[in-house]
């Protein structure tokens, strides 16, 4: 049990939005030099609590003490100056500007009144080297991967001499090696006396790096325990507010396939796309969920986009529904009965200000148009059917989609393709950023759809999802298909071994070169 004076004490925090309690009796206590996990389903109040702490929101009741003094920050900037830095899930940097600028914006180094670029570049490079990142800091941020951008954001936050660093799902766009680097950084911060609040949906990660965990549910703090004293099952149970017995057995909502696979719907061979994909191969049959596993950057999404015609391949052959065809644009693939839910719902999927109805029928709109006018009756019938079938929770078809939770947005996107009656559905990270309950729901929905004869190609970074959900697994590593495993052999160990094998070879090449 911690004995020193706590660094942060938030007590009985209340926050209402239009009379509705977002936070009621929420609390959070963090010791100096400790990594505190903050978990809970979407809507549990984690983000709201953090926003109250950093001054993004005001609070209706409760007290906050930081470093032994009561505080009430008026803005995140004030919190940052006060020693609390936040790293957001969506990277809040300026992509056009250089890495150096993104680190130093707001506190530039000057010499003779003008900016001292050589000093700032050198300091930025030094700072990133602490994080084991060696990049050209003068290039625009957008030239680098999401992972590097995330690390730059963290480097920026850390360089503010923060006593407390809040990381709101920083790992959702990182691959496993990058997550390891991030954890090293977190441990190093702890060694330097900095406290970290770590918010994540990936429960496995908590055990690797956190000292204690605070669980929130429905705007309340349910429990705070040392990490070593709670197992994963009890953690999930606490988050869901369900009995342990009810969640035992399955970590996901997937069940076994109902019957044997049907005809081939997709076969891809020898795909080569740019530099990322060198030789990938895939087969999907009707009624089958095929998992596509691989680390970030292994070419999973690129392969999927090629099959969908979004980025036509440089080489290789694709067969859709038994017909040799290379889609040149998505419309070709859609006409063949292919649907694609991208990994980035916000950027590529939803049109935030449009209603559920409009979002849902976007892909089939051409078919609903008679003489230039949308047949609203038919549209409404389709929307109602799918909202019911997928149990989409919205106030009605006219609610704006951006007001829905992540899980319900994803369901609308699924429905968008389902109403076009596809033969093959490509799902890129179908449950990313979705809370545990909705996740299981979407997973069982995917299985149900496959059992009804749909071929599903599912890309996922979560091994559990691939291991439990996929009837067949292809593993990509460094742009090549390195393994093709039937469900029975697709254990987490086997998949990781397949990824690791190719990694070892690649490292060897570098060493020799």
Rounded-to-integer distance, Cα 129 and Cα 435, Å: 35
Which of 66, 88, 254, 474 binds another protein (CB under 8 A)? It is 88
Rg over alpha carbons for the chain, rounded to the nearest Å, is 24
Question: Closest CB to another protein among 107 and 388?
Answer: 107
Pairing, β 369-370 against β 373-374: antiparallel
Rounded-to-integer distance, Cα 483 and Cα 494, Å: 9
Interface stretch with another protein, choices 94-102, 126-134, 296-304, 378-386 (CB under 8 A): 94-102
Question: Closest CB to another protein among 143 and 348?
Answer: 143
Q: Which one, of 109, 91, 112, lies nearest residue 101 by Cα?
A: 109
> Does 452 help bind another protein (rule: CB under 8 A)?
no
Residue 4 in tokens: 């020193």
Q: Cβ 366 to another protein, closest distance in Å?
A: 27
In the region spanning residues 151 to 190, those forming contacts with another protein, defined by CB under 8 A, are 156
> Does 77 help bind another protein (rule: CB under 8 A)?
yes
Q: Cβ 413 to another protein, closest distance in Å?
A: 24
Q: Cβ 123 to another protein, closest distance in Å?
A: 15
Helix axes 376-389, 406-418, angle to 10 degrees: 120
Rounded-to-integer distance, Cα 206 and Cα 234, Å: 14
Which of 5, 17, 72, 92 binds another protein (CB under 8 A)? It is 92
Give me the phi and psi of 461, to 5 degrees please: -90, -10
CB 303 within 8 A of CB 273: yes
Q: Cβ 207 to another protein, closest distance in Å?
A: 31
Question: Closest CB to another protein among 199 and 449?
Answer: 199
Residue in the block written with tokens 């292919």: 338
CB 427 within 8 A of CB 413: no
**H-helix segments, 44-116:** 46-54, 76-81, 99-104
> Does 513 help bind another protein (rule: CB under 8 A)?
no
Which of 61, 74, 95, 328 binds another protein (CB under 8 A)? It is 95
Q: Cβ 273 to another protein, closest distance in Å?
A: 12
Which of 19, 68, 70, 106 binds another protein (CB under 8 A)? It is 106
Count, residues near another protein per rule CB under 8 A:
27
Question: Closest CB to another protein among 132 and 136?
Answer: 136
Binding pattern for the stretch 118-157 against another protein, x by CB under 8 A and - elsewhere: ---x--------------x-xx---x------------x-
String of DSSP letters for 425-475: EEEESTTTT--HHHHHHHHHHHHHHHHTT-EEEEE-S-HHHHHHH-SEEEE
Residue 480 in tokens: 């090549």
Question: Closest CB to another protein among 166 and 445?
Answer: 166
Interface stretch with another protein, choices 95-103, 217-225, 234-242, 324-332 (CB under 8 A): 95-103
**Distance from first CA to last CA of the chain, Å, rounded?**
51
> Does 98 help bind another protein (rule: CB under 8 A)?
yes
Binding pattern for the stretch 37-76 against another protein, x by CB under 8 A and - elsewhere: --------------------------------------xx
Which of 80, 200, 221, 408 binds another protein (CB under 8 A)? It is 80
String of DSSP letters for 112-174: TTEE-HHHHHHHHHHHHHTTT----TTSBGGGS-HHHHHHHHHHHHHTTT-SEEEEESTTTT-
Residue 226 in tokens: 């040392």
Binding pattern for the stretch 249-278 against another protein, x by CB under 8 A and - elsewhere: ------------------------------
Question: Closest CB to another protein among 137 and 442?
Answer: 137
Interface stretch with another protein, choices 32-40, 93-101, 207-215, 330-338 (CB under 8 A): 93-101
Q: What is the DSSP letter of 400?
A: B
Residue in the block written with tokens 């969506």: 90
Q: Cβ 107 to another protein, closest distance in Å?
A: 9
Residue 25 in tokens: 């009796």
Rounded-to-integer distance, Cα 215 and Cα 230, Å: 11
Interface stretch with another protein, choices 43-51, 112-120, 175-183, 425-433 (CB under 8 A): 112-120
Binding pattern for the stretch 397-416 against another protein, x by CB under 8 A and - elsewhere: --------------------
Where does this chain bind another protein (CB under 8 A)? 75-77, 80-81, 88, 92-98, 101, 105-106, 108, 110, 114-115, 117, 121, 136, 138-139, 143, 156
């Amino acid at each position: 049990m911690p004995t020193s004076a706590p660094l942060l004490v938030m007590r009985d925090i209340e926050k209402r939005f239009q009379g509705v309690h977002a936070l009621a009796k929420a609390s959070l206590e963090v010791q100096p030099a400790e990594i505190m996990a903050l978990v809970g389903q979407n809507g549990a109040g984690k983000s709201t609590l953090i926003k109250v702490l950093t001054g993004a929101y005001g609070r209706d009741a409760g007290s906050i003490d930081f470093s032994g003094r009561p505080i009430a920050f008026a803005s995140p900037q004030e919190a940052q100056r006060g020693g609390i830095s936040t790293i957001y899930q969506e990277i809040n940097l300026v992509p056009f500007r250089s890495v150096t600028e993104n680190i130093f914006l707001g506190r530039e180094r000057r010499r003779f009144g003008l900016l001292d670029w050589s000093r700032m570049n050198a300091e930025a490079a030094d700072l990133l080297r602490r994080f084991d990142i060696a990049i050209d800091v003068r290039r625009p941020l957008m030239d680098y991967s999401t992972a590097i951008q995330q690390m730059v954001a963290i480097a920026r936050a850390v360089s503010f001499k923060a006593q407390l660093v809040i990381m709101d799902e920083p790992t959702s766009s990182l691959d496993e090696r990058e997550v390891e680097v991030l954890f090293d950084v977190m441990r190093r911060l702890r060694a330097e006396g900095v406290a970290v609040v770590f918010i994540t949906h990936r429960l496995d990660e908590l055990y690797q790096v956190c000292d204690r965990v605070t669980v929130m549910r429905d705007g309340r703090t349910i429990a705070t325990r040392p990490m070593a004293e709670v197992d994963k099952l009890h953690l999930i149970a606490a988050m869901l507010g369900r009995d342990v017995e009810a969640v035992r057995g399955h970590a996901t909502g997937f069940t076994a396939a109902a019957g044997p696979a049907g005809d081939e719907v997709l076969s891809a061979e020898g795909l080569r796309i740019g530099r990322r994909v060198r030789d990938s191969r895939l087969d999907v049959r009707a009624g089958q969920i095929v998992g596509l596993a691989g680390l970030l950057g292994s070419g999973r999404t690129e392969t999927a986009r090629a099959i969908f015609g979004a980025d036509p391949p440089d080489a290789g052959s694709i067969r859709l529904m038994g017909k040799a065809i290379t889609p040149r644009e998505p419309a070709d693939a859609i006409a063949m009965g292919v649907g694609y839910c991208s990994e980035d719902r916000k950027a590529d999927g939803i049109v935030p200000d449009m209603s559920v109805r409009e979002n849902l029928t976007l892909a089939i709109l051409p078919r609903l148009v008679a003489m230039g006018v949308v047949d609203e009756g038919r549209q409404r019938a389709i929307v109602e059917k799918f909202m019911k079938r997928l149990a989409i929770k919205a106030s009605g078809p006219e609610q704006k989609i951006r007001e829905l939770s992540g899980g319900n947005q994803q369901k609308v996107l699924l429905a968008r393709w389902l109403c076009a009656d596809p033969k093959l559905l490509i799902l890129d990270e179908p449950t990313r950023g979705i809370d545990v309950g909705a996740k299981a729901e979407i997973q069982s929905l995917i299985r149900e759809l496959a059992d009804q004869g749909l071929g599903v190609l599912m890309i996922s970074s979560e091994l559990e999802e691939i291991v439990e959900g996929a009837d067949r697994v292809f593993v990509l590593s460094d742009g090549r298909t390195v393994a093709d495993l039937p469900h029975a052999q697709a254990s987490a160990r086997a998949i990781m071994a397949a990824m690791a094998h190719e990694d070892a070879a690649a490292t060897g090449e570098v060493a020799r070169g």
